[in-house]
Chains A and B, each alone.
Chain A
Amino acid sequence: MKDLRDLARSLLTGGEVQMVLGWEDGRRGARPAFITSPDDADRLIFDTRCVHNLATYLNPRRPQVTELGKVAMVVKGCDVKAVAGLLREAQLTRDRIVLIGVRCGGVLEEPALPTAAPLTAPTVAPRCYGCDNREPKLFDHIVGEPQPEPPAPAMTIDDRIATLDAMTPDDRWQYWTNQFSKCVRCYACRQVCPMCVCERCIADKTVPQWIETSSHPRGNLAWNMVRALHLAGRCVGCGECERFCPVGIPLSLLNRKLQQVVDERFDYVVCDDPETPAPIGDYRPDDSQEFIR
């Protein structure tokens, strides 16, 4: 942690950046920290409670942070994929940010703890299992020691998807419409997502109205479907949408399912290389099409 604080202090002192974005201890566990003075650099922490994907503050929908000038951001492997996604889609330019990569051994599912807790099967965030980016490859500085692999949760996201896939379509329909009928359309999933970059969301359009705005199961299905579709091949799997969902809809199952689809069908795995084109918006003439008559 000392090297992280020293680095932040020197970046701020030297005037290279106007703000360091990281995590600090808050009243309810770790929380995002916006450090503008070198004296405050010692507030920065990094441990298993630092689950928040701070890349969402680089989203052009949310210019408050980037307007302050050049920003240095502490990024885990999953966060930096979102930064790469924003770079890939020209929502951000590389010279606007300094990336401080941290080597990450997984995070907790629930960050509201007074001190860092070791990761165990019940407490680890399921998305961390099988992480392919525990050491960011896109960074300007990297800090921390190499970390061990996170433990496996009792049931991985892929296991859950396999369970659903083994059900009949009618049972799946029942499961998902039940889940979506909980949705209150607060759009927290959209607001927290670093990759939801549209200035005007299709869910807010009224003429024509594509998504029914009231919270009933039919409009909820359309909303959750279009949210997943718009993130197909773009979602970095940071799991913030599911963590923020006030009614506990398992959005990571949808996101992960589409990650599997683009991997199997288009041979694309979301990565932190901004030069790799995203699968939707790109194509190959020989894409498989066995479902097309």
Chain B
Amino acid sequence: MSEETAVEIARSVNARETSAVERAVAMAERIAERDGAVGAYLTQTAELARAHAETIDARIAAGERLPLAGVPLAIKDNMCVTGTRTTCASRILEHWISPYTGTAVQRLLAAGALPLGKTNLDEFAMGSSCENSALGKTANPWDLGRVPGGSSGGSVAAVAAGEATVALGSDTGGSIREPAAFCGVVGFKPTYGRVSRYGLIAFASSLDQIGPISNTVEDSALVYDTMAGYDPMDATTVDRPVEPTANGLREDLRGVRIGIVKEFGLSALEADVRAVYERAYADLEKLGAELVEVALPTADYGIATYYLIAPAECSSNLARFDGMRYGLRVEAPDVGATYEATRAAGFGDEVKRRILIGTYALSSGYYDAYYVRAQKARTLIAADFAKAFASCDAIACPAAATPAFQFAAKADPVSMYLMDYYTIPMSLAGLPSLSVPCGYVTPPGARGPLPLGLELSGPLFAERSLLGIAHAYERGTRHAAAERIPALSGAGAAR
């Protein structure tokens, strides 16, 4: 069943060949069987999924047709769902029950998706390995000794391990794309403003974007089409019609110009990794694309820029976690001391680090030197992309420089920040960008092949064209189906 796509499930449930309830029960069983090893979920909501499945079956029995009928969905635990624990993988929200459901989730549920549970993440989505979770450890299903990537590590691992058919992630600087690459699935970050952030617990508001994670590009397109579009509850959503993407998927790349970024040369990569990307570029060409070199001279400043803007916004966004109205409260003699004790106990090191950096960057006397300059750099990076897209339809590059690494391999925060080198510039420019499986490497010490992802990015609002290109690449190469996940076969799953 794990090979079954959302498109196939929705078709069969709509045709009443199977029921949503059967799907909910079967997936819950599979989660129970596998999640002990993978640890994708922080909270399983089998009963919620089943109850919702009953209403979906009733609606279908009444003649409705739902685009995601009976499709098992995993939800990153920084998205609010009424009555569920929504933790952000943080001690400070460990026991917080959301009183409302966010827009993106609401739209998927209304379309028939079944909420199987809430998945692990780096605390408040700050991290690239899922190791910053205060509430659980998620392993890469390809090698349980390795990280799934992050921050959407739980959602990606759930889809890779067959513990969900599709999942929602959030991407601020690469938090969907990097883990998707590490776990060999499709992860798609839409244009900023395309999917409502209402109900997504903010990390960096000007960068956060919800996106789908799935086994196929087609499934991501289906989920995206269902949840994208203007939301009166989010003033940053764009009020212009969404071009459907699911009916724009193409089988070849004839007439498509793919930009290869001059500054993202492959020479610094390990030889086996480099070989995979060289072949990926060659495959694009083989499928009919014309490869053109494009320049992104400012992209190199992406990480520095990002690590001023994102912490600045996070320092303000996370102020509300003060122990007064909800979440953890550590009692102390007065209000100020209560704030301090609560936040000291409630936040992990990486979150504190970013709050401190951000507070500093916004402080009087430093604001112009840091925050304002970072915003200027952001504008230049976006301008570079705009120029590049004058000569190409999409840009291809690695989603990450390496395959999934082992737990505790990146103890130094900066080495972790560098994991997002290829994803951050697109986030700063607000572009639609995705990772699609593009091959495997087996580095020394690995228990088997580890997937790599090709990142494809398009101009603003070019979701239809971008998903079309990714679909053609996926169908033309079939990397996703090329290897089996060792951890889930035999001994691996029992570990």
Does A pair with B?
Answer: no
